[in-house]
Amino acid sequence: MIAAGTRVPEVDVYDGKGPAPLPVFFQGPTMLVFFRGDCRRCEGVLGLAAGLGRIAKGLTVIGVSQETIEDTAKYLKQIGIKLPVVIDDRPYQASAIFEIETVPAVVVLDEDMVTWTSDGCSAENIDALATRMSSWIGDREFALRPEYFDEPPVESKHRA
- Confirm whether 9 is domain-assigned: no
Number of domains in the chain: 1
Asked, for residue 151, whether it belongs to a domain, the answer is yes
User: pTM here?
Assistant: 0.93
Residue 32 is assigned to a structural domain of this protein: yes
Rounded Cα distance, 146 and 151, in Å: 10
Question: Among positive and negative, which fits the CA dihedral 60, 137, 107, 81?
Answer: negative
Instruction: Give the chain's largest Cα–Cα span.
Output: 40
Asked if residue 142 has pLDDT above 80, the reply is no
Percent helix, strand, coil in the chain, to 5, is: 35, 25, 40
CATH number, domain containing residue 78: 3.40.30.10
Contact in structure between 100 and 1 (CB atoms under 8 Å): yes
pLDDT digits 0-9 by tens, 41-71: 999 999 999 988 888 888 999 999 999 999 9
